[in-house]
Amino acid sequence: MSDQQQQASDERNARRIITGVVSSDKMDQTIAVVVERMLKHPKYGKYLRRHSKVYAHDPKNEAHMGDTVEIMECRPMSKLKRYRLIQVTNKAVLPMGEIQ
């Protein structure tokens, strides 16, 4: 996180920061992020993989499909957007011949 983003987040209330993988970047300034969590079954104790798809604001269109990103809760920006992109933590490796 940059110094300016760190300072802005310190001044505000505590916001949830979650990590996920970009599943779609086809919209302008919006990315769809899949967030996975592990849940323990109450009776059997087996860990189950659950996921949620959330939409995040990406003003510079810097995140692309397959990237691992950090997003932060924010005010509602549209009907579905409730998160904003903080940083791209891991770029996706593109197959040969594919250009973005």
pLDDT in tens, 66-94: 999 999 999 999 999 999 999 999 998 87
Report the chain (100 residues): mean pLDDT per 10 consecutive residues. Answer: 62 88 96 97 97 97 95 96 96 72
Sorted by where each starts, the structural domains of the chain and their CATH numbers stand as 16-90 (2.40.50.140)
| Calpha distance 70→8 (Å, rounded) | 16
For 7-34, letters b (16+ CB in 10 Å) and e give eeeeeeeeeeebebbbeebeeeebbbbe
